[in-house]
Structure 1
Amino acid sequence: MLFDLKEYENKKVHFIGIGGVSMSGLAAILLNSNIKVSGSDFKESENVKRLREKGAEIFFGHHKENITDQDIVVYTAAIREDNEELMQARAMGKITYDRAEFLGHIIQNFTNSIAVTGTHGKTSTTSMLSAVAMAADADPTILVGGNLPLIGGNYRIGDSDLFITEACEYKASFLRFPGKVALILNIEADHLDYYRDLSHILDTFREYLTVMPKDGTVVANADDPNMDYVLKDAKVKTLTFGIRKGELRAKNISYDKAGRAAFSVYREDAYLTDISLMVPGEFNIYNALGAIGASLSSGISLEAIRKGLEGYLGVDKRFQHLYTKNDVMVID
């Protein structure tokens, strides 16, 4: 691995909620670097099984007795302050990180990182980017918020400097792990148990641009009505995309009987390539445009972008076709 985890050598890291989509991927990164890992969760799962097979010590249930010889404890935003393990770790003077802070610590060690954020489409677009990176033989490390058949789960450990991850805006956690390339898909009023209102959300996205690397690039949906405000006064490079406006545009759009789009991609007035998607709907055109912009900003070739997107078959539970019987189609 090109990122430096020497500071964790001879230490043991415990994950509270180790079976979670993001937590399991972080644990796998450490295990792949021969760092001792333990973790707790409420039940068995495929993620937990995979980690146990890699050597993780797994506990079921959150109990203070699970905190023993660990040096660092990582917890998710879903863990309450009165969680037995978290309280015990703090009482014993152990180093504690929330998931976002720990992910930020990891992502800084990659020279080429892509963080996908926005209200909708993060998992699908992160999966598209994964397909593109795999088509480019970029050997990426990936954290995705769903089961992606292409990589056999929700994470992949690569051996290059490319890191692709979702960046959830819940509780402003994405401020802790800005990517060198930030992809903002769309912004709506969401997570209102944390945010006061849409204005609070928009200001947090504006703040996100201020914590990005100075040589970073924000790729943003120009058709989103809130994006102009977010990008105003941005100090990093910007690349916008859209169907109606934006530097990167989808034109000559057509759909087949299954609703899958084919379109031409232009940058300003220059033709780049044609794309035929295997996933349906206009929304996936936007997801694909975002993936194209982030990929170009990360130095991936147009040939690999086209190959990856045209070979992308989707991610589980995101408009996933389960079966068709008696002319009835079942979609998850």
Structure 2
Amino acid sequence: MLNSVDFSGRPFHFIGIGGIGMSALAYVLAKRGLPVSGSDLHLSRITQRLQEEGAHIFWSQDPSNLEFFQAPTSAAQEPVASAAVGLAPVKVRSQRATTSRALTSPASVRLPQVICSTAIHPENTEYLAARDSGCPIFHRSDVLAGLMQEYDSIAVAGTHGKTTTSSMIGYMLLQAGLDPTIVVGGEVNAWEGNARLGQSPHLVAEADESDGSLVKMAANVGIVTNIELDHPDHYNNLDEVIDIFKTFAKRCQTLIGSIDCTIVREQLQPTISYSLDVNSGADYTVDCVTCRADGTTARVWERGVILGRLNVKLLGKHNLSNALAAVAVGRLLKLEFATIAQAIATFEGARRRFERRGEYNDILFVDDYAHHPSELQATLAAARLQINGTSRTSKRRLVAIFQPHRYSRTLTFLADFATSFSDADVVVISDIYSAGETNPGNISGQQVANSIANHHPQVDYQPSLQAVSQRLTELLMPGDIALFLGAGNLNQLIPEVMAFHQTLEQGRSQAWCNQA
């Protein structure tokens, strides 16, 4: 980019402002008092939060949206009907209150800075209008990279665990009184969303490698959790992924990495290392590890000296590894271990990361973002802890409901997906969520189900979400854990399936009362 992102008052316009990465940046900018607008197609909890901070949102992607900040006055935002999506009506401050200063300054009479993500198609009419009218156009990663330069930044990268690790670090700094600015790829209850604006110099951000933009990030502290090929739509092979991470590592002043990942250990050689193997020689290690149905405990070592005991609510050894990365960051910032341990012990996790959505008819419903074979294996192993840790005498089942994500990923990792469900008792597979990819015609959800069935005794394929929902009303039984897996829209089914079993539960309870 010849031009740099301007944070001095020039307006920002986000095409697709409701996306998880776009909205986090828009929120921080709006909280900083900068004029922000954006377009999206659907009202959501995320867009509602942006409206409440004064961002002006258009509900179609139209070239005329770019004219908003050029008008001599800006009308208050029109109310949006929201009952249909279960959201309360938004009471929004007048845009005049948040943009009047910008409208009278020289920077504001220019066209807005237009922010896009990789998801925006080059033929998008709003994007084309921005290009043709001469708007400065930036990728969302340019905005994040620009923000990193204004803070003492901590950037969390890696194929798996970025959201959980960055959220945990942000929460730790918040609990320690360091008041960080946080930009992550998931919603966290502790700050009621995917971003917060702090008043300290600290910024914690999730740095994404999916589209190659990781090379733009230069952080004071970089963390790499692991490296695998996960986005074959962008990368031809693992070597290309490794090169991206090498560039990121060189641009960070201090690199913290998990040497349990061979690639991180051999290719990046982190400044500060961590490992779950106490004999690995890492700077931060653990022993006396106990994995339970309610979390994990371990004894933490720092360069051969015992720091103390760590309790992690999040299930699975992969989350213990994420917590160890947070310990390394906390100690680098000179926090006492007791402060670090107290924060990690109370961290609840991010939404869609083994998120418990409810329990009805004695069935636990869990939503998880896992979509790569390694993530599926780790998440199912954690869920198995719930099964094995139960005190009930009746047999419980782990029912894995999986929506494959992207044709390219599904085809590339088909053999790995086939062997990823050994910890599940029952597997339900839906058709593939395209994520905007064109169907190549050589991969389908049925093929995924057939491949898994070669290694698993109970696999059920359903061609549509409606069919999945119907099947679950027949399949799920009291005592089950229903684990919804995938990065697409499968989790939209959870409320209706829960409602069905809530009705059964209420009916059973009423029948018992009548008999009594």
TM-score w.r.t. structure 2 length? 0.59
Alignment-derived partner of residue 347 in structure 2: 312
User: Within 5 A, what are the aligned runs for 1:49-60?
Assistant: 49-60=48-59
Query: In structure 2, how many angstroms separate the alpha carbons of the residues matched to 1:278 and 1:93?
Result: 50
What is the DSSP-based 3-state SS (H/G/I as helix, E as strand, rest coil) of the residue aligned with 1:280?
coil
Alignment counterpart, residue 278 of structure 1, candidates 313, 321, 325:
313
Is 2:252 aligned against 1:219? no
Query: In structure 2, how many angstroms separate the alpha carbons of the residues matched to 1:179 and 1:165?
Result: 10
Alignment-derived partner of residue 207 in structure 1: 247
Query: In structure 2, how many angstroms separate the alpha carbons of the residues matched to 1:102 and 1:322?
Result: 33
What is the DSSP-based 3-state SS (H/G/I as helix, E as strand, rest coil) of the residue aligned with 2:262?
coil
Alignment-derived partner of residue 241 in structure 1: 274
Alignment-derived partner of residue 471 in structure 2: none
Alignment-derived partner of residue 254 in structure 1: 290
Consecutive unaligned residues of structure 2, counting only runs of 5 or more, are 71-110, 368-516
Is 2:16 aligned against 1:48? no
Alignment-derived partner of residue 331 in structure 1: 366
**8 Å contact from structure 1 (residues 259, 281) kept in 2:** no
Alignment-derived partner of residue 268 in structure 2: 231
User: Within 5 A, what are the aligned runs for 1:1-332?
Assistant: 7-68=6-67, 69=70, 70-110=111-151, 112-212=152-252, 216-232=253-269, 238-244=271-277, 245=280, 246-256=282-292, 258=293, 260-325=295-360, 328-332=363-367
- Which residue identity lines up with residue 137 of structure 2 in the other structure? T
**Structure 1 residues 66-101: Cα deviation after superposition (integer angstroms, max 9, x where no partner):** 112342111111112212112111111111110001
- Which residue identity lines up with residue 77 of structure 1 in the other structure? T
Q: CA RMSD in A?
A: 1.8
Alignment-derived partner of residue 412 in structure 2: none
What is the DSSP-based 3-state SS (H/G/I as helix, E as strand, rest coil) of the residue aligned with 1:322?
strand
- Indicate how the Cα distance of structure 1 residues 176 and 307 shifts in structure 2: closer, same or farther if over 3 A, else same: same
Identity of aligned residues (%): 31
Query: In structure 2, how many angstroms separate the alpha carbons of the residues matched to 1:220 and 1:45?
Result: 36
Consecutive unaligned residues of structure 1, counting only runs of 5 or more, are none
- Indicate how the Cα distance of structure 1 residues 190 and 10 shifts in structure 2: closer, same or farther if over 3 A, else same: closer
**8 Å contact from structure 1 (residues 181, 297) kept in 2:** no
Whose RCO is larger (CA < 8 A, sep 6+)?
A: 1
- Which residue identity lines up with residue 313 of structure 1 in the other structure? E
- Which residue identity lines up with residue 287 of structure 1 in the other structure? N
Query: In structure 2, how many angstroms separate the alpha carbons of the residues matched to 1:159 and 1:238?
Result: 28
Query: In structure 2, how many angstroms separate the alpha carbons of the residues matched to 1:109 and 1:132?
Result: 21
Once the two structures are TM-superposed, the CA of residue 9 in structure 1 deviates from its matched residue by: 3.8
**Structure 1 residues 172-221: Cα deviation after superposition (integer angstroms, max 9, x where no partner):** 11111232111101111111111111111112111111222xxx211101
Query: In structure 1, how many angstroms separate the alpha carbons of the residues matched to 2:308 and 2:15?
Result: 45
Query: In structure 2, how many angstroms separate the alpha carbons of the residues matched to 1:152 and 1:41?
Result: 21
- Which residue identity lines up with residue 33 of structure 1 in the other structure? R
- Which residue identity lines up with residue 121 of structure 2 in the other structure? R
**8 Å contact from structure 2 (residues 62, 125) kept in 1:** yes
Once the two structures are TM-superposed, the CA of residue 325 in structure 1 deviates from its matched residue by: 4.9
- Indicate how the Cα distance of structure 1 residues 157 and 198 shifts in structure 2: closer, same or farther if over 3 A, else same: same
Once the two structures are TM-superposed, the CA of residue 331 in structure 1 deviates from its matched residue by: 2.0
**Greater strand share, 1 or 2?**
1
Which has more radius of gyration? 2
What is the DSSP-based 3-state SS (H/G/I as helix, E as strand, rest coil) of the residue aligned with 2:354?
coil
Once the two structures are TM-superposed, the CA of residue 326 in structure 1 deviates from its matched residue by: 5.7
Query: In structure 2, how many angstroms separate the alpha carbons of the residues matched to 1:93 and 1:299?
Result: 47
Once the two structures are TM-superposed, the CA of residue 327 in structure 1 deviates from its matched residue by: 5.1
TM-score w.r.t. structure 1 length? 0.91
Query: In structure 2, how many angstroms separate the alpha carbons of the residues matched to 1:221 and 1:94?
Result: 42
Once the two structures are TM-superposed, the CA of residue 315 in structure 1 deviates from its matched residue by: 1.6
- Indicate how the Cα distance of structure 1 residues 303 and 41 shifts in structure 2: closer, same or farther if over 3 A, else same: same
**Structure 1 residues 18-60: Cα deviation after superposition (integer angstroms, max 9, x where no partner):** 1112211211222222211110011111111111121111111
What is the DSSP-based 3-state SS (H/G/I as helix, E as strand, rest coil) of the residue aligned with 1:300?
coil
- Which residue identity lines up with residue 252 of structure 1 in the other structure? C
